[in-house]
Structure 1
Amino acid sequence: MTPASAPHVRPAAPLSRHAPATDIALSCHGIERSFGGLRALKGVDLEVRQGQIFGLVGPNGSGKTTMVNVMTGFYPPNAGRVELFGADITRMAPHKVARCGVARTFQNLALFKGMSVLDNVLLGRHVHMRPSALASLFYWVWAEREELAHRRVVEEIIDFMQLQDIRDEPVEAIPMGLQKRVELARALVAQPRFLILDEPMAGMNQEEKEYIARFILDARDERDVTIFIIEHHMDVVTAICDEVVVLCYGEVIARGDPATAIAQPQVVKAYLGERAAARHAGTAS
């Protein structure tokens, strides 16, 4: 279970000094979700404190993405409750959840080919845009001022994510690692309070993983964003997450600090299988 090499990033910091430990950003209680006869989630409970980097891990098919889709309103739960910063958002539509301060990246890149890096990042501001025929009619009075404000935020994030040199490049012409960085930039320009990252390091080499890990840590520390991350790279999880929950077949099988939770026998068994887990335990002893 322990990777040969961990990314060379700062160790996970404690909760942000701006977020008391008692402040809960996200709370999920008894979440159930079925698809026909398949129970994808079975009474999942979790709490994410403000200022945390919180990891949700588990083998393929364990229900991680389903859980995120319930949290963001794409799937209504069959039972249970989701609260965001104390407000019940259980059956809220996805666009309304976004307006509550939630942004998300996806497991598969969702960038717009044929558009530049700058234009893709600018699209992340849509949640703050209020189109109006009257504003367009009096563009030089109202709409221009709003457009410039959006541009300032975008330029700040482009600098923050170190994308200045490729800002005008077609997004499909840049490497995968940079495309992942563009997607993270697009999420950050929405100025979220709660950021969900679904496998942000999939398909990356070690150097690219280290870059993204650093940007995730900086987003939490410098932009006061609470981060919820799904990730398969256990070296990354143990390096940057404050707390993790491990799912297996829709159930929570471990929770706590990453190193302790991932080392639990039931977690090793879920990832490696019973025989391999027994061999692993014998080797460890």
Structure 2
Amino acid sequence: MSGDHVLVCDGVVRRFGGVVALKNVSVAVRRGEIFGLVGPNGSGKTTLVNAVTGFYPPQEGRITLDGTQINGLKPFRIASMGVARTFQNVALFHGMSVLDNILMGRHIFMKPNPLASLLYPWWAQKEEVAHRRHVEEVIDLLQLAPARDEHVDVIPLGLQKRVELARALCAEPRLLVLDEPMAGMNQEEKEYMVRFILDAQEALDLTVLIIEHHMDVVTALCDRVLVLNNGQEIAQGPAREAIADPRVVEAYIGKPRHAA
């Protein structure tokens, strides 16, 4: 594949016992685009994301990140290569503040060193200030300053999702993977999140892979999409064209009944 592709999945197969969750799925995500994964529940979207991020490596096929094969690597190794992720169910650290949760996104850049801690004013302080400066830039980008000192347990779901996005952005990803970032949100919260994703993508020159069920969000955000059903591709291409494909309509609402 061309160097213009950040992520390439080629013939990916993933089985769970006798269930084939992904059946020879291939996709190439171009640098700088927002690429959508679409399909009914149980279609294989999250399984594909879990294959990409190392949680469920494929039994067949190949996955490459900027030309380097990553299937078979542990999730922490893939994260260290520049893949950051949010989850469908919010996965924040409860009992901690918004700021502390976002700071956790910098952990892949931190190198624990007892000597550095001992000589903190001369050694570790400079590194900590640099990490905090980057976090503050992300907080400003996502307009989280008013909530920075709040505990994540008490803030609304839409704000929790934004904190999770901020934590992922602090990892400076080459590929940002968003698993249903709008799940559970009302219309106003969805509109805010769409804007923040677009702002982050433009400001940080991100490549984004997003799972999303809301078709208005998909058409507003995504350059191209892959539509899955029962673990197989049924359409792929520009968002509006792929979603209008008769096979996609059938997968979501079923075949039309003909009058007797």
Normalised by the shorter chain, which TM-score bucket? over 0.9
Q: Look up the SS of the partner of 2:199 in the other structure.
A: helix
Q: What CA deviation, in whole Å up to 9, does each residue of 1:234-280 have, x standing for no partner?
A: 0000111000000000000000111110111111111112236x79x
Give the equivalent residue in structure 2 for 1:13: none
**CA distance, structure 2, for counterparts of residue 103 and residue 134 of structure 1:** 30
**CA distance, structure 2, for counterparts of residue 50 and residue 161 of structure 1:** 22
User: 1:100-139 counterparts in 2 under 5 A?
Assistant: 100-139=81-120
1:24 maps to 2:5: yes
Q: CA deviation at 1:222?
A: 1.1
1:166 to 147, 152, 171: 147
Q: Which amino acid aligns with 2:197?
A: I
Give me the identity figure in percent: 63
Give the equivalent residue in structure 1 for 2:24: 43
Give the equivalent residue in structure 2 for 1:8: none
Q: Look up the SS of the partner of 2:256 in the other structure.
A: helix
Q: Look up the SS of the partner of 1:121 in the other structure.
A: helix
Give the equivalent residue in structure 2 for 1:188: 169
**CA distance, structure 2, for counterparts of residue 153 and residue 222 of structure 1:** 13
1:204 to 165, 168, 185: 185
Give the equivalent residue in structure 2 for 1:16: none
User: 1:202-281 counterparts in 2 under 5 A?
Assistant: 202-275=183-256
Q: What CA deviation, in whole Å up to 9, does each residue of 1:132-155 have, x standing for no partner?
A: 112112212211111111110111
**CA distance, structure 2, for counterparts of residue 22 and residue 242 of structure 1:** 18
**CA distance, structure 2, for counterparts of residue 100 and residue 50 of structure 1:** 15
Q: Look up the SS of the partner of 1:269 in the other structure.
A: helix
How many residues align? The count is 258
Q: CA deviation at 1:229?
A: 0.3
Provide the alpha-carbon RMSD of the alignment.
1.3
Q: Which amino acid aligns with 2:160?
A: Q
**CA distance, structure 1, for counterparts of residue 13 and residue 3 of structure 2:** 26
**CA distance, structure 2, for counterparts of residue 22 and residue 123 of structure 1:** 31
Q: Look up the SS of the partner of 1:113 in the other structure.
A: coil
Give the equivalent residue in structure 1 for 2:59: 78
Alpha-carbon contact 2:3-2:66 (below 8 Å) kept = no
**CA distance, structure 1, for counterparts of residue 247 and residue 215 of structure 2:** 16
**CA distance, structure 2, for counterparts of residue 220 and residue 162 of structure 1:** 15
1:155 to 129, 136, 142: 136
Give the equivalent residue in structure 2 for 1:52: 33
Q: Look up the SS of the partner of 1:274 in the other structure.
A: coil
**CA distance, structure 1, for counterparts of residue 256 and residue 113 of structure 2:** 63
Q: What CA deviation, in whole Å up to 9, does each residue of 1:2-48 have, x standing for no partner?
A: xxxxxxxxxxxxxxxxxxx9610100000000000000000000000
**CA distance, structure 2, for counterparts of residue 134 and residue 253 of structure 1:** 56
Alpha-carbon contact 2:141-2:200 (below 8 Å) kept = no
Q: CA deviation at 1:200?
A: 0.2
Q: Which amino acid aligns with 2:112?
A: P
Q: Which amino acid aligns with 2:96?
A: M
**CA distance, structure 2, for counterparts of residue 80 and residue 136 of structure 1:** 45
Alpha-carbon contact 2:54-2:71 (below 8 Å) kept = yes
Structure 1: give runs of 5+ residues left out of the alignment.
Answer: 1-20, 280-285
Q: Look up the SS of the partner of 1:114 in the other structure.
A: coil
**CA distance, structure 2, for counterparts of residue 247 and residue 268 of structure 1:** 12
Q: What CA deviation, in whole Å up to 9, does each residue of 1:171-223 have, x standing for no partner?
A: 11111111111110010011111100000001111111111101111111110
Alpha-carbon contact 2:10-2:25 (below 8 Å) kept = yes
TM value normalised by structure 1: 0.88
Q: Which amino acid aligns with 1:37?
A: G
Alpha-carbon contact 2:84-2:177 (below 8 Å) kept = yes
TM value normalised by structure 2: 0.97
